[in-house]
Structure 1
Amino acid sequence: MKLIDAPSPNFDDRKLPVDTVILHYTGMETGAEALKRLQEPGAKVSAHYLVEENGDVYKLVEEDKRAWHAGVSYWKGDIEMNGRSIGVEIVNPGHQFGYRDFPDAQIASVIDLLKEIRARHKIDPARVIGHSDVAPRRKEDPGEKFPWKKLSDEGLALAPFEGDAKAGEAVTFEAALEALSAIGYDANLGDYAAGLLAFQRRFCPQALGQGFDPLTRAALISVKEKL
């Protein structure tokens, strides 16, 4: 993993211990464009790291400082995710500019980086999450193409659901909704759709947009039981 210093002025003091990593995609046409944006003082956005498609890693903000990457966010009742997380931007055009698979070299560097972050901060794999997980009404990243299984194979994140729908046939709507909330998503009886889509992107993309279908219900119970 090649680490390149690329300081951003967009940070402030951190007041909480680090216990979470939030993965993003850049959602811009090129990595250079994204890097420039993260370094612009007027942009008021940043991340701790940016991982290029060739595997190069840019360090923008020191881990003991708070980068501005999560925005309005929620996870397990916490609404100040910038304060307790490390933000990793992963270069990809995203859904707006031609969403595509993440190259092997890039993911290898993400894995190496996460191993180093975990060694420093003892991050629970359940708290390596996506931007859409903490901001489901605004964000889709890193999206359904992100290879979470490669991270879970290294013990760095929870694995996507690989079971079948049969186990979900007996799961009630109420139990599924409770599981969605227990996992960490901002979900209540009247406003759960965005959180459900974020869960599907993360854990069962084959069911994306299918509501509380049996496969999603099975996945929800399975993930909840891993916590």
Structure 2
Amino acid sequence: MSGFAPDHPGAEVRVSPNFGPRRGTEVPDMIILHYTGMETGAGAEAWLCDPASEVSSHYLVHEDGRVVQMVRESDRAWHAGKSSWRGITDINSCSVGIEIVNPGHTLGYRPFPERQIEAVISLCQGISRRHPVSSERVLAHSDVAPGRKVDPGERFPWRVLAAAGLGHFVAPSPIRRGPVLRPGDEGAAVEELQSMLALYGYGVEITGVFDVQTDIVVQAFQRHFRPRRVDGVADGSTIRTLRRLLGSLPELSVQ
């Protein structure tokens, strides 16, 4: 492919060879947000377009707000890797992937510039108009690949996106002293926590044992929805926030 007209008005086009046809669907219904985790945006853009990398995304948003499209929205970009959400394991086939330039946790994680977030919002709004993406299906890479990925991380301003009608959001419940669930705990309370996380969409096995997998998924949930403290401990704030999120989903009602 030598080029294509951008799906998003104003986007630059730089074609990545790393893509294929969508499998099982022709219409994406999810948006997955990533950070690049590289020293520079130029380096990330080059890597996503390098056939040797075997990775890509549909879009990359630079810190100055420039949007680059590398894969057509009708095609399957290679951005999510091994991942799952609500039982779906081929996230690449049902999603649009957006890489957001930021060096990430290992190279000097920093706040996302306002103009960059404005560009992300405009891009996500456009994708949601072109495809049936509901607010609760605008997700973090860390949501669909907990433990393996932590991006876009706890500094990402989900509250700002929610104000623009993007992403599922409730204000996190305050952190207070009280009983907690932590690794090693067992019983009905742990089973209920795992059930709620699974009901929301996370890939967690319901065992009634607060194992390593549960710890990892709780951290992923906190990183997105209760970012003030990401420790894998299911305190009252974490559980109340999860209950309120479930209760505000259109198809669910959790008391």
Q: TM-score, normalised by structure 2?
A: 0.84
Q: Considering only CA atoms, is the larger Rg found in Structure 1 or Structure 2?
A: 2
Distance in 2, Cα, partners of 1:217 & 1:21: 25
Partner residue in 2 for 1:87: 97
Cα-to-partner distance string for 1:86-138 (whole Å, 9 max, x where unaligned): 00000000001000000000000000001100000021000000001011121
4+ residue runs of structure 1 moved beyond 4 angstroms? Answer: 168-171
Counterpart AA for 2:203: D
Q: CA offset at residue 170 of structure 1?
A: 10
- Partner of 1:10 in structure 2? 18
1:198 is matched with 220
Segments of 5+ residues of structure 2 without an aligned counterpart are 1-8, 182-188, 250-255
Supply the distance in 2 between the matched residues of 1:160 and 1:144 (Cα, whole angstroms): 15
Residue 123 of structure 1 corresponds to which residue in structure 2?
A: 133
Indicate conservation of the 8 Å contact 2:37/2:103, yes or no.
yes
The one-letter code of the counterpart of 1:145 is R
Q: Aligned to 2:157, which of 118, 131, 147? A: 147
**Does the aligned pair in 1 maintain the 2:215–2:232 contact within 8 Å?**
no
In 2, the alpha carbon distance for the partners of 1:91 and 1:160 equals 26
**Structure (1/2) with the larger helix percentage:** 1
Gapped regions of structure 1 (runs ≥ 5) = none
- Residue identity opposite 2:155 in structure 1: K
AA aligned opposite 2:198: S
Aligned partner letter, 1:200: Q
Percent of aligned pairs sharing the same letter = 43
Number of equivalenced pairs = 226
- In 2, Cα distance between the equivalents of 1:197 and 1:210? 4
2:174 is aligned, of 158, 164, 176, to 164
Counterpart-to-counterpart distance in 2, 1:169 and 1:153? 32
| Structure 1 residue aligned with 2:195 | 178
Aligned residue in 2 for 1:111? 121
**2:180, 2:233 within 8 Å by CA — same for their partners in 1?**
no
